[in-house]
Amino acid sequence: MKLCRKLEMHFTTGIIKPYEMPRKVERQFDFSRYCRRHIALMVAYLGWDLDGFCAQNNSQNTVESKIFKALIETKLIQSLETANYSRCGRTDKTVSAFSQVLSLDVRSNQTTGVGVFEPDGYCPNEPKPTSRKTTPKSEELDYAKILNSVLPQEIRVLAWAPVERTFNARYNCTSRQYKYFFPKGALNLKVSTVVDFLHFSAIVALFSNFRRGTICVYFQLMEQASKRLIGEHDFRNFCKIDMSKNEIQSCVRTVFDVQFTKVNAGGLNSRTLCCFTIVANAFLWHQIRCIMSVLFAIGEGKEQPDVIEWLLNTELCPAKPQYSMVVGWPLVLYGCQYDNLEWHWKEGIIMECISNLQRTLVNFAIKVEIIENMMNSLLSLMPNNSTTADLNTTSILHPELLSHSYRPLKGRSVGKSLEEKIAKKKKQQLGTKRTTADDTTKQSLNEEEEEEAWRCMSSVMQLNGFEAVRIGKSMYRMRLMSWGQKAPGVGFFPCSGLKTDPNRRCQMADELFTNSSSRMSLPP
């Protein structure tokens, strides 16, 4: 016991310090030993708690930020600047995706194959470090497994595909499919039963080969209006135009198909979940949310179906009426189509993703049941003894429609047209260039005037027995040449006092030297 107490005292007093394991120095990863490969990644994510897909300067809670961090942490890329990165689409805050596609150059275990190339500084003769866990040369790196090991659970890489080096995830995409989920509520639509068969083999094939049997779906006002979106149109009145871009892109897009379906089984009532699917070659910023906003107004009977044609006609409606859009969390980027892409699937990755989704589904299902029981218990206290309540879709997804003084879109004030915005931006850019040029010219002229004034004033001072000493670029100091010191009461004065006409400069000098004992304030 005495020995233990002595040892404890030594440790507490610092006489004997416990042994500390030396920190292991991390070995620098040598990217020059590996070839690169241009690949495509299929990514799924639940964006409800994320700040959008694109990386932002003021937030790290984005899908791209987390993917970039995972790529660098797993040594698949050396830096984003050299990764030749591109993305298929940009999703807003709270928007999810089932089939977002990225393309980039990553480290490869192969020396030949589609998309494989030797980077600058490649050293093939250098032996690679051996390890028991090293992947055999005959197999490529399992990119999905590597990234999923460090990505958060709400972001999963489903598959990867080798592509040519010229492949671009954005420009090579032939079509994009979005789905917007919503409860029927009081919307004017009529839906028949939807039978949806989804097999495990379909999950493996995902978007390209799945088998789906769907019975016809019938709608009234909303269906009539949505069909008018099909075709090539100018969607400037169904989006938010980003004027921060250097060049304003065209707002013309081609919609291939639109469709309403019923999601859950059972009869059609206010609590029936429905899905609006739209397929197009590309989409504008907030385009689908603006479209759903107008369709909800039509379904509520506050707008007529022909308002779609009016908004698409840029001659009748050259500027967007002021209206709000629906919330973003029910929106999903469901698919991105490409020609001749061979996706590499792994059953283990798919089962892991299914397991994660099942856990999330169980959590939400239990929460839904708890909320529903609470709601029914409260409803039982109502006089009509109702057991169910109608869901008000507008209050959840589009609060603007709750207003009793709803104003039709055709009677609302409009903003500036696209042409007016472009002209204003060009004028601002031209004005900025002119201002910069004028400032440069003015600065040059001011320097020349200042030098001329300095020479004139200096000569007058010397005739009166003074000399001027220039201090920096904007101040002068006078002193008597005979005294070798600062003139009494004169001190410092700004250069701006010299920028007058020559006659005034001579008059100022005479006044200054006649009464040098008092301070004079030179005019600006």
Annotated catalytic residues are 92
CA atoms within 13 A on the CB side of 50: 24
Alpha carbon of 393 to those of 182, 211, 369: distances in Å?
7, 31, 19
What number of H helices and E strands is found in the chain? 11, 14
Burial group, residue 174, by CB count within 10 angstroms (0-12, 13-18, 19+): exposed
The three-state (H, E, C) secondary structure of 324-356, written as one string:
CCCCCCCEEEEEEECCCCCCECCHHHHHHHHHH
Q: What is the Cα–Cα distance from 78 to 120, expressed in whole angstroms?
A: 13
Query: Would you give the DSSP letter of residue 120?
Result: T
Using DSSP's 3-state secondary structure scheme, residue 16 falls into: coil
With both helix axes pointing from N to C terminus, report the angle between 418-463 and 502-514 in degrees, rounded to the nearest 10.
50
320 contacts 237 by C-beta, under 8 angstroms? yes
Other beta carbons within 10 Å of 27: 7
How far apart are alpha carbons 490 and 475 in whole angstroms? 13
123 contacts: CB under 8 Å, gap ≥ 6: 32, 33
Q: Considering only CA atoms, which of 92, 124, 96, 93 is closest in space to residue 108?
A: 124
Cα dihedral across residues 335, 336, 340, 346: positive or negative: negative
Per the CB < 8 A criterion, the answer to whether 98 and 334 are in contact is: yes
Cα–Cα distance for residue pair 157/141, rounded to 1 Å: 14
> Is 262 exposed, middle or buried, given 0-12, 13-18 or 19+ CB atoms closer than 10 A?
buried
The DSSP secondary-structure symbol of 43 reads E
